[in-house]
Structure 1
Amino acid sequence: MESRATTTPSSLQQKFLKRPDSLQLELLPIPENGPLSKFSQDNNELVHVGFRDVTYTIKEGFFKRRPRDLLRKVNGEFCAGELTAIMGPSGAGKSTLMNILAGYTTSGVTGKLLVNGEDRDESTFRKRSCYIMQNDNLQPLLTVHEAMTVAANLKLSAKYTHKEKQTRIKEILESINLWQNRKVKTFSLSGGQKKRLSIALELLKNPQVMFFDEPTSGLDSLTSKQCVMLLKQIASTGRTVICTIHQPSAMIFEMFDHLYAVSNGYCIYQGAVKGLLPYLEQSSLKCPPYHNPADYLLEVASGDYGDYTEMLSKKSENGLNNEWRNKQTNSLQFQSMEHIDKLMESGCITPVKAPPILFKKMTNGIDVKKRSWFCYRSQYPTSFCNQIYVLLKRTFLLISRDRTLTFSRITTHLGIAFFIGTLYYGIGEDASNVLNNFNFLFFTVMFLMLTAFNCVTTTFPSELPIITREHFNKWYSLKSYYLAITLADIPIQMVATLLYAVITYFLTMQPVEPFRIFSFLFMCILISLVAQSFGLFIGAIMDIKNGVIFGPFCFLPFTIFSGFFVQLNDSHPYMRWLFHISFLKYGLEGLVLSVLGYDRGKLPCNADYCHFVYPEKFLDQMDMEYAQYSTAVIFMLGLIAFIRIAAYFALSVQIKKRT
């Protein structure tokens, strides 16, 4: 059996109480009877993450799908109150192990995942943990305080008042030294500030387990030290903090409490950081003087000194051997923190001396007294209705600040409307310009289709990394996000479409009859919503580059079957069915019928000869004599519903692939 399967609460408390006063830094003052003692006394608050015989297998090859193990029956336990580093060379399996422990990767995994020595329930564990990914996927147009407010409204249940949520936001931002930047938009933050904000967003729900993927990636050495120091402060409150790290400096390396080293899918060491070099020396692997121990570990794991992976994995019993866990003290990490403290005092790096990140126990359960506020209960902290409300507010705020989604779209529609209206001025009331009027209507279909499609295709894919992070960390359900993003963009698209349609309708002097005006405007809106739906679908399955290239194939092939270039009766009999599924045909028919159909009278002719004095003659030549406006509306509405449902399922598949 293991020498130390689980750290007991009493041992964790002794770990902190036995620390010499000279080593208790002011970076995180701990009250004698404060929240930390509550962590130590309440066993439910301590979450020890364990795993036994975990193997992860992938399939390689296109035709012959050969299995390959990235992890090979590894074992281990990461205890509450410890800052754990998972290290190893590229391809060793450290990120894979992190993803499995966080629940981010589930397929292809065998073995047991444990919490406090027992099989863990994934749903419960996900509520008590969070995963902060390598890239800081934040909404760039929100300020720090706005981002925290949105997160608080989604992650804290409705039983907490607005004042209580704002108090907690202020505590966290002060704790990580971001309060003075609360009005700064996230795209203006430095790399270290973005990393701290990512941590602050997840601290709102007071998670017991925190996973970090390469938290120092992209940061300079001083900011990296500050970031790791913050993680150590968080771990000292009794949380389980686990992170992957690639090649830390010697000072940062010494700040970790626990090291888990992997090589070629095996665990080659788990224990205290200070125990690493004595452990390697027993295998005749002596670190050269003045050499970074972290670099030396990576060199050994990479085979620079020979293949020691099998021997070291047997010595560590593939993670089961806990002999080196408490064998060495980790005092140098406090010297490192003292050195950082001196640097902060001298002004070399940004100080982090704010109040400690300690909170009273706050659950995300549903208050029985306020249960009537909710539409229904769910696995998320807040109700489905509240999620939609908060996400709608956030989306409207983002749209109002996004030049592409709002200002550029409206100005483009306005500019083109006046240009086309001037170009085709007065064509709607003269029989000699019926063909020009038809060209104007076809241009309207294509313009509304392309602009609505491109606006969504070029912006929606950039949201996917943010959706992935927030949805995985249980901020909201995918249904509520999709419904909010769909509803929020419709008003802007409708405003832009109506501006174009109204201006061009009256400048081209179409008939001023209420039902014709309404029919024309309504069909223009339907056309733009169809294109917007296609944009959502393409944006959900492709990135921006591929979406711009392949996206137009959604509707450009149907252009030839729109009735503008070739009429139905003139086409090959085997090709006529394509006209009946071409939404461009129905959109063009709807616009033509709205201005020329429904028994419109004889048109005035200002030329020597007008072939289409009677609109019915033109409709007959265009194979639209039997066309029905209601049929076009039903087809377009059905297509909008179908594509948007398909886009939701495509988004679900895309999110599952990423997780």
Structure 2
Amino acid sequence: MDIGAGAKEARPVRLPRASPIDIEFSGVSISVEGPGGLCSRSQNGKKLLLKNLNGRFQSGELTAIMGPSGAGKTTLLNVLTGFSTKGMSGCVRALGRVKSAHGSPLRKQSCYIMQDDRLMGHLTARESLELSAKLRLPRSVTAKERQLVIDDILETLGLAVSASVKCCSLSGGQKKRLSVALELVNNPPVIFLDEPTTGLDSSSSVQCMVLFKQLARGGRTVVMTLHQPSASLYMMLDHVYLLGKGGCCIYQGAPQMTVPYLATFGLLCPLYHSPADYMLEVATEDQGEYTKKMSDAVIADLGMNAGESKWRKAIGNIPDHPLPAARKASAVGKIWSGCQEEEQQIVLLPSEDDLRPVSELGKFRILLGRALWQIHCEWAVTQVRAVFHLMVGVLLGMLFSGASTDGGRTISNLGFLLVSLVYLSYTSMMPAVLRFPSELPVIQKELFNNWYSLISYYTAYLTAGTPVQMVHCLLFCSVAYFGSGQPNEPFRFFMYVLICELVMLRAEGLGLVLGTLVNPVNGTFLGALLTAVDLVFAGYIVLVSDMLQFFQWSSHLSYLRQGFEGVVVSVYGFSRETLGCPEEKNMISEGQGTYCHFRYPSKILETFHIKDDNYWLVDVPVLCMWVIFLRITLFFTLRWRMKS
């Protein structure tokens, strides 16, 4: 963040309209299987992670959920956001106008910025913001207004100087501020953050806290989890919600009231000791077992004050923000002082009558552009894969050169056809297994924060990626087919390529499904194992007629059987002329040479129990059904993974 720029005159930020929303919850509990905790009680073998939590987080305030490790900070945040509600009881309400002119629920008016910065590494900071703005700003916003929003946010968050830097090269503080910037585009009234200062140095932490304070001063409800902030960061907060062991709330109120509150229990914070550190020592029961007593006091306090804690506002002569003098004199201190003195200026764009969101078709086009740009950024990888396909095609062409026209080498040529299918299967399946695990966290964040729908992302991903895979397959098939001397007939080449493309798409589909269901290690193992099983039932290593009746029926489930039948028919079917054999191999007199049985293509098809009609009636339709089935399965497994 450009500290010097922060001291300049505040620049107005142009954002859409947003109505203030308060978050209120009561009786919130979370139970899981396991033994009970300190202030939780094991009931029917279940442990309460959160126990009877009540509270209210107001708009215009910076609220921090604090507590020791394992107290349930992130669990409570997940409940409030709706990210995870399994085993939950209680009620979470939004107070205020929680619906827009088009009936959008609260979840569509809030955002959740997770602890790990989930960003597309191949995009720059400006490109990421442009994508967010195109997807989330109303369709009535012009391109010029959209650029004004992007420029203002970059300037306000101190990202202008790093706007052209790719996300993977940003520092920790810059990534955190960019994560906030991406969600700030549509001015959400509620912002949730999970430990935003974790992993940052003190300077970056202060800069981020100043930013969050400014966002709260703009009328938003900003709720975050903090583990152990410094004294200066602690005093920047407006409201503290402290959890003790067992998921009980032991304090909720202003940070300035921490010391007086603890004094009511006989806990005196030592002079020059950070109230935040001392509060956590109390929460971990290093100062004694006060968790149950303080939890009961919080509940009683809320009951006597109509749900409002008497410690919420600083009273008396307690200083509002005892920032150290050295810090006040610094540039960060000047920014903080300016933040306290005046609210952030916001120009609202446009009126509520123009707040129609971008259509799903429009989002599809935007996501398609992102997917194509990602392929462009990974062009080196795409070129390497194309080169390897060409090299392997040349190698196979040289190894099996002339095998197609030599009746004495028919078995070798059939091996070439099967090797081609197996090569395409493995080279398309293995990258697919590793593809989704790397992108799932980003997709999950964007889907949860309502950037787009899953169907828009899914169709854009397939539309952009499938043609590239098909071009790679075509390159391999062209070199391998003609290099090995297969029949130079256009219709046979087309039939061969069609089967190879379908086999490749089927294998890629299985890899994508495995990538969404299991981790990459298990996915690659299962993919290789299933392909090996399909290879055994392809009908080349073991003839279908030699299998047991049960396995003959089971072989129909092998996509390599349909693929092998298809490529054999494309090369030897449809009344192909008799193959040639070397003259010496036809000399059976005087014990010289051998009988060239496979010089007749009809004998090849008869031996392997293959019919010409199977190509269009069985092989192509079955492979097409496999491709469609796996693409549909991928959508549902991806949706399940997003929800889990």
Provide TM-score, normalisation by structure 2: 0.89
Match of 2:382 in 1: 406
Q: Say which of 156, 159, 177 aligns to 2:158.
A: 177
Answer whether contact 1:254 1:330 (CA < 8 A) is retained.
no
1:119 Cα deviation (Å)? 9.1
- Partners of 1:477 and 1:366 lie apart in 2 by 23
Match of 1:45 in 2: 19
- Output aligned runs, 1:112-261, within 5 Å: 112-116=91-95, 124-261=105-242
1:635 Cα deviation (Å)? 0.3
Aligned amino acid, residue 285 of structure 2: G
- Output aligned runs, 1:476-555, within 5 Å: 476-555=452-531
Match of 2:282 in 1: 300
- Partners of 2:318 and 2:193 lie apart in 1 by 22
Match of 1:58 in 2: 32
Answer whether contact 2:232 2:322 (CA < 8 A) is retained.
no
- What SS is found at the alignment partner of 2:598? coil
Question: Against the structure 1 CA distance between its residues 330 and 604, is the aligned structure 2 distance closer, same or farther, given a 3 Å change threshold?
Answer: farther
Aligned amino acid, residue 176 of structure 2: K
Q: Say which of 45, 48, 53 aligns to 1:74.
A: 53
- Partners of 2:293 and 2:350 lie apart in 1 by 46
- What SS is found at the alignment partner of 2:33? strand
1:555 Cα deviation (Å)? 2.5
Matched, 1:316 2:298: yes
Match of 2:87 in 1: 108
Matched, 1:622 2:601: no
Answer whether contact 1:536 1:647 (CA < 8 A) is retained.
yes
Question: Against the structure 1 CA distance between its residues 243 and 648, is the aligned structure 2 distance closer, same or farther, given a 3 Å change threshold?
Answer: same
- Output aligned runs, 1:298-377, within 5 Å: 298-317=280-299, 320-328=307-315, 331=319, 333=321, 335=323, 339=327, 342-343=330-331, 358-362=345-349, 367=354
- Partners of 1:129 and 1:143 lie apart in 2 by 25
- What SS is found at the alignment partner of 1:566? coil
- Partners of 2:328 and 2:496 lie apart in 1 by 68
- Partners of 2:136 and 2:214 lie apart in 1 by 22
Q: Any unmatched runs of 5+ in structure 2? A: 36-42, 586-595
TM-superposition CA deviations, 1:126-154 (whole Å, max 9, x none): 12110000000100001111111111111
TM-superposition CA deviations, 1:473-505 (whole Å, max 9, x none): 000101111111112110110111000000111
Question: Against the structure 1 CA distance between its residues 65 and 463, is the aligned structure 2 distance closer, same or farther, given a 3 Å change threshold?
Answer: farther
- Partners of 1:127 and 1:224 lie apart in 2 by 28
Aligned amino acid, residue 342 of structure 1: S
TM-superposition CA deviations, 1:216-269 (whole Å, max 9, x none): 111122211111111111111111111001111122111111111011221111
CA root-mean-square deviation: 3.1
Match of 1:443 in 2: 419
Q: Say which of 264, 268, 271 aligns to 1:286.
A: 268
TM-superposition CA deviations, 1:595-627 (whole Å, max 9, x none): 111111111112522331111111211222466
TM-superposition CA deviations, 1:12-35 (whole Å, max 9, x none): xxxxxxxxxxxxx9759679xx89
Question: Against the structure 1 CA distance between its residues 528 and 56, is the aligned structure 2 distance closer, same or farther, given a 3 Å change threshold?
Answer: same
- Partners of 1:362 and 1:543 lie apart in 2 by 44
Q: Say which of 577, 584, 594 aligns to 2:560.
A: 584
- Partners of 1:28 and 1:49 lie apart in 2 by 34
- Partners of 1:55 and 1:407 lie apart in 2 by 54
- Partners of 2:627 and 2:461 lie apart in 1 by 15
Match of 2:66 in 1: 87
- What SS is found at the alignment partner of 2:24? strand
Match of 1:652 in 2: 639
Aligned amino acid, residue 299 of structure 1: E
- Output aligned runs, 1:360-399, within 5 Å: 360-362=347-349, 367=354, 381-399=357-375
- Partners of 2:167 and 2:543 lie apart in 1 by 54
Question: Against the structure 1 CA distance between its residues 275 and 170, is the aligned structure 2 distance closer, same or farther, given a 3 Å change threshold?
Answer: same
Question: Against the structure 1 CA distance between its residues 357 and 474, is the aligned structure 2 distance closer, same or farther, given a 3 Å change threshold?
Answer: farther
- Partners of 1:120 and 1:165 lie apart in 2 by 24
- Partners of 1:425 and 1:352 lie apart in 2 by 76
- Partners of 2:364 and 2:444 lie apart in 1 by 17
- Which stretch shifts more, 47-56 or 422-431? 422-431
Aligned amino acid, residue 611 of structure 1: H
- Partners of 2:481 and 2:98 lie apart in 1 by 67
Answer whether contact 2:217 2:343 (CA < 8 A) is retained.
no
Question: Against the structure 1 CA distance between its residues 387 and 365, is the aligned structure 2 distance closer, same or farther, given a 3 Å change threshold?
Answer: farther
Question: Against the structure 1 CA distance between its residues 362 and 125, is the aligned structure 2 distance closer, same or farther, given a 3 Å change threshold?
Answer: farther
Q: Say which of 619, 626, 629 aligns to 1:639.
A: 626
- What SS is found at the alignment partner of 1:479? helix
- Output aligned runs, 1:451-466, within 5 Å: 451-466=427-442
Aligned amino acid, residue 80 of structure 1: S
Q: Percent identity?
A: 38
- Partners of 1:94 and 1:555 lie apart in 2 by 45
TM-superposition CA deviations, 1:492-527 (whole Å, max 9, x none): 101110000001111111111111011111111111
- What SS is found at the alignment partner of 1:212? strand
- What SS is found at the alignment partner of 1:590? helix
Question: Against the structure 1 CA distance between its residues 400 and 470, is the aligned structure 2 distance closer, same or farther, given a 3 Å change threshold?
Answer: same
- Partners of 1:310 and 1:233 lie apart in 2 by 36
Question: Against the structure 1 CA distance between its residues 330 and 284, is the aligned structure 2 distance closer, same or farther, given a 3 Å change threshold?
Answer: closer
Question: Against the structure 1 CA distance between its residues 571 and 337, is the aligned structure 2 distance closer, same or farther, given a 3 Å change threshold?
Answer: farther
Question: Against the structure 1 CA distance between its residues 461 and 356, is the aligned structure 2 distance closer, same or farther, given a 3 Å change threshold?
Answer: farther
Answer whether contact 2:62 2:212 (CA < 8 A) is retained.
yes
Provide TM-score, normalisation by structure 1: 0.87
- What SS is found at the alignment partner of 1:495? helix
- Which stretch shifts more, 493-502 or 626-635? 626-635
- Partners of 1:497 and 1:332 lie apart in 2 by 68
- Partners of 2:506 and 2:33 lie apart in 1 by 39
Answer whether contact 1:209 1:239 (CA < 8 A) is retained.
yes
Question: Against the structure 1 CA distance between its residues 246 and 404, is the aligned structure 2 distance closer, same or farther, given a 3 Å change threshold?
Answer: farther
- Partners of 2:143 and 2:431 lie apart in 1 by 35
- Partners of 1:588 and 1:569 lie apart in 2 by 15
1:422 Cα deviation (Å)? 2.0
Aligned amino acid, residue 154 of structure 2: L
Question: Against the structure 1 CA distance between its residues 86 and 266, is the aligned structure 2 distance closer, same or farther, given a 3 Å change threshold?
Answer: same
- What SS is found at the alignment partner of 2:347? coil
Aligned amino acid, residue 483 of structure 1: T
1:367 Cα deviation (Å)? 4.8
